């Protein structure tokens, strides 16, 4: 990258930050920061639920292989809350991202 390209890139970033800093540092910015922190927590929870679903899959097929009706029933009952948590977290994630986008667009206009 040449010096002029670097200077142009630096000016573009400075201009962007000048316009964006009010969104991230203004009076109502605490709400955006709280929403972003919540989204990070939601992503972590989504990863945990997916991890548990992988273990559920292993345990379910182990119970099938061993013909263990009690373990199979337990795994079937465990699937319901795991699926509900997965769907709830996915909906919350989409809602949070769209809310940040709407607030950002509102701020820009």
State the pLDDT at residue 33: 94
State the pLDDT at residue 22: 85
State the pLDDT at residue 52: 96
3-state helix, strand, coil in the chain (%, to 5): 95, 0, 5
State the pLDDT at residue 16: 82
> Which portions of the chain are predicted below pLDDT 50?
none
State the pLDDT at residue 14: 87
Considering only CA atoms, which of 72, 48, 49 is closest in space to residue 60?
72
Whether the pTM exceeds 0.85: the reply is no
């Amino acid at each position: 990258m040449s010096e002029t390209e670097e200077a142009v890139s630096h000016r573009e970033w400075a201009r962007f930050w000048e316009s964006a800093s009010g969104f991230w540092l203004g009076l109502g910015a605490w709400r955006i920061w709280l929403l972003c922190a919540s989204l990070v927590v939601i992503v972590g929870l989504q990863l945990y639920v997916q991890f548990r679903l992988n273990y559920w899959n292993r345990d379910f097929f182990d119970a099938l292989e061993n013909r263990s009706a009690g373990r199979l029933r337990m795994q079937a009952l465990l699937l319901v809350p795991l699926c509900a948590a997965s769907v709830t977290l996915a909906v919350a994630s989409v809602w949070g991202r769209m809310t940040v986008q709407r607030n950002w667009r509102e701020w820009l206009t």
